């Protein structure tokens, strides 16, 4: 093969690329007059909405990093606080339901912030006519999930709205944890030379929920990966205290996390498609649906950034835990191309992995 494509980027194209970089750094503005489904998809539109509306109104140093949980310093302790709402449809799907999702999601947001999750709140918005038996089933799986994660639901709220004003059952959970290790984590701490690790096969949850809706007439033997990550995180931090950042790859998938890291730390990320674990069933379904598994949500996977020389130690620690058996290094942090995530494709080419505009799979969590 000939070299030469390298020089293909002319000065003029370079100028255009620079102009785009500048445009992308401009302050976000919501142009739409109304909220659209894209605003909830976890991609660019969500980010714009959060930054232009919520961050603008609530701006404070604790909120500004926009991490999965805020770190609160109170006398004698470092606490982590997070909240999340669950509107998944359908409510019950292979491998879980809205109940365990609501517990695990909040437990995971605390865990990847380096906190030991302790106490959760639960708020329910129920639609008139929702079967009580389903509510009991949901509450039951919340109990089981909370026990598995070692947390308690200590306060709550219940509201009922008229038929048609909600879709069965929505749940909000908030959680408090204590950061008892001497660590500071954050996407902005990623440095060139660091390794990017994912704790297992990606995309299971999103594809499972999508197929569970039964709209596509595709069947695949997949299950949601919903699981509490606090044990896995503890195993990783015990082995590699120098972990720079962790995120759980929910809405927007691994691609979105990598982009958040690239932007927050002002670094490039270069991932390798061959190294990203994806189950064949998930890959097959994605291939049929024209979806990139990199954007599909997980509910029991984390992405970790660790110093390059500690990568193998980190993978070993993750693999030693049942939830991390297929952990793998999927890429590295680079000084070049700051703010951009690139992927070496299995075919041998290179491309960008950008944030999605809208999600092809709405209401997966």
Partner 1 sequence: MRFVDEFRDADKAHALAAKIAALCEPGRQYKFMEVCGGHTHTIYKHGLEDYLPEAITLVHGPGCPVCVIPMGRLDDAMHLAARPDVIMTSFGDMMRVPGSNGSFFDAKANGTDIRMVYSPLDSLKIARQNPDRKVVFMAIGFETTAPSTAMTMLRAAAEGLGNFSVFCNHITIIPAIKAILDSPDLRLDGFIGPGHVSTVIGCRPYEFIARSYRKPVVVAGFEPLDILQSIYMLMLQLAQDRSQVENQYSRVVPWNGNPVALKAIGETMELRPYFEWRGLGFISHSALKVREKYAAMDAELLFEVPGVRVADPKACQCGEVLKGVLKPWECKVFGTACTPETPIGTCMVSPEGACAAYYNYGRMHRTRVPEAARAAGSRAAGS
Q: Running DSSP on this structure, what letter comes out for residue 150?
A: T
- Is 193 one of the binding residues for partner 1 (CB under 8 A)? yes
Contact between 299 and 205 under an 8 Å Cβ cutoff? The reply is yes
- Closer of 27 and 31 to partner 1 (Cβ): 31
- Residue 358: exposure state from Cβ atoms within 10 A (0-12, 13-18, ≥19): middle
- Closer of 35 and 154 to partner 1 (Cβ): 35
- Is 23 one of the binding residues for partner 1 (CB under 8 A)? yes
Contact pick of 17, 72, 77, 144 for partner 1 (by CB under 8 A): 17
Q: Which helix (H) or strand (E) holds 155?
A: strand 152-161
Contact pick of 14, 155, 158, 184 for partner 1 (by CB under 8 A): 14
CB of 334: closest distance to partner 1 in angstroms?
A: 4
User: First-to-last CA distance in the chain?
Assistant: 46
- Is 9 one of the binding residues for partner 1 (CB under 8 A)? yes
- Closer of 18 and 128 to partner 1 (Cβ): 18
CA distances from 210 to 97, 135, 248, 252 (A): 13, 22, 20, 14
- Is 40 one of the binding residues for partner 1 (CB under 8 A)? no
CB of 269: closest distance to partner 1 in angstroms?
A: 8
Contacting residues for 228 by C-beta, under 8 A, at least 6 apart? 103, 104, 107, 108, 111, 117, 145, 148, 149, 300
- Is 34 one of the binding residues for partner 1 (CB under 8 A)? yes
Contact pick of 340, 361, 364, 365 for partner 1 (by CB under 8 A): 340
- Is 214 one of the binding residues for partner 1 (CB under 8 A)? no
Which token pair is 127?
């639609």
Dihedral over alpha carbons 87, 94, 329, 295 (to 10 degrees): -40
CB of 297: closest distance to partner 1 in angstroms?
A: 18
Contact pick of 94, 123, 320, 358 for partner 1 (by CB under 8 A): 358
Contacting residues for 84 by C-beta, under 8 A, at least 6 apart? 102, 105, 106, 109, 172, 173, 174
Residues that bind partner 1 (CB under 8 A): 1-9, 12-14, 16-17, 19-20, 23, 31-38, 44-45, 48, 192-193, 215-216, 268, 270, 272, 280, 283-284, 287, 290, 331-332, 334-337, 340, 342, 344-352, 354, 357-358, 360
């Amino acid at each position: 093969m000939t070299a030469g494509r390298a020089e293909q980027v002319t000065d003029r194209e370079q100028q255009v690329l620079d102009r785009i970089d500048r445009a992308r750094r401009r302050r976000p503005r919501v142009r739409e007059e109304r909220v659209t489904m894209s605003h909830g998809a976890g991609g660019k539109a969500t980010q714009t909405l959060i930054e232009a509306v919520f961050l603008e109104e609530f701006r404070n140093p604790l909120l500004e990093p926009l991490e999965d949980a805020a770190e609160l310093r109170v006398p004698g302790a470092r606490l982590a606080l997070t909240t999340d709402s669950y509107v998944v449809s359908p409510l019950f799907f292979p491998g879980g339901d809205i109940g365990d999702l609501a517990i695990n999601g909040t437990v995971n947001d605390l865990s990847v912030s380096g906190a030991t999750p302790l106490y959760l709140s639960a708020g329910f918005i129920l639609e008139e006519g929702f079967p009580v038996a389903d509510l009991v089933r949901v509450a039951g799986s919340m109990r089981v999930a909370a026990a598995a994660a070692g947390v308690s639901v200590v306060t709550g709220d219940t509201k009922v709205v008229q038929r048609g004003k909600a879709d069965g059952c929505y749940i909000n959970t908030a959680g408090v944890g204590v950061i008892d290790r001497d660590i500071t984590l954050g996407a902005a701490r990623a440095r060139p030379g660091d390794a990017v690790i994912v704790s297992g096969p990606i995309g299971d949850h999103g594809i499972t929920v999508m197929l569970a809706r039964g709209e596509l007439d595709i069947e695949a033997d997949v299950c949601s990966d919903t699981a509490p990550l606090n044990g896995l995180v503890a195993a990783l931090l015990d082995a590699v205290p120098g972990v720079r950042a962790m995120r759980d790859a929910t809405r927007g998938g691994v691609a979105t996390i990598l982009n958040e890291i690239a932007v927050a730390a002002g670094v490039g990320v270069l991932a390798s498609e061959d190294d990203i674990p994806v189950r064949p069933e998930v890959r097959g379904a994605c291939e049929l649906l024209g979806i990139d598994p990199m954007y599909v949500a997980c509910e029991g996977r984390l992405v970790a950034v660790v110093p390059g020389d500690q990568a193998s130690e980190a993978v070993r620690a993750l693999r030693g835990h049942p939830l991390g058996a297929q952990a793998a290094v999927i890429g590295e942090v680079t000084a070049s191309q700051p703010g951009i995530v690139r992927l070496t494709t299995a075919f041998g080419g290179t491309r960008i992995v950008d944030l999605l505009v809208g999600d092809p799979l709405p209401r997966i969590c």
